[in-house]
Chains A and B, each alone.
Chain A
């Protein structure tokens, strides 16, 4: 209980710092989800008709997830330097697989009869894609985006090791000062805020789910 109080005191004593780290961390998540989301969905759409291309894209995306986070964060440093860039690239590569896999699963799961009737109604292939296929696959795609977001929130804590900021800053500074006063607080604050941020993002995505899923399939 005492620790909880001193944790709160620690957090509220440096609101500015906390908000900045939170903003950086959330900035990674949002920018990565948007760019990787677009990239993965487009890749899923482009490759869906060709089994080899589809499976190859999935295998490559899953290899990225196999590469340990520290390695992926630092491997681009010789090319792009420290800070935001290497962290962004690593998180981007990590978030591809869940979105890509769900895009493919979602598009695959559409009843061929529905596509036939859309075609029969005179919709062009592009119209079928935009007005029938994507809306029907969207709930599955969104589930993939959600998995990616959880993943990125946790991994983005590593960004601090390549001077990329974020909530990992608290963990790093706490570790460096251990066992001085406030070091434990910093470590726990960084870790707990990651979980809270994930919770908030999860809620936002659930709201987005309700708002964006077309009425017919709710």
Chain B
């Protein structure tokens, strides 16, 4: 992780290049994640969990590094960070309020027949496909 210095003016070019190098290492890790996941999976730690961590966990770290060091949020007034965090929270709120209706296809006394039928139809159509639902381990698309 980057060391925290007090002022943006103290950062030299070398510092920025270092952050960039860390970002690249993280990028490589996130690309390799789905490839190596099946090999390191053991016990409760399944391959999809590792992929999830390498994909989205690393994305969060990368976003933090860019925001803190390149956008200089770490030396900006605190309320700017609060402002941006509030906007993100609003999106969580939107997700929380909407997902029960859109992500689910049935609930208390209701059922989204059309959407459920489409899921079933598509899954059936894919049954013939060699990729099936196990595409997680594939590093590359067929095309």
Are A and B associated in one complex? no
Q: Residues of A with Cβ closer than 8 Å to B?
A: none
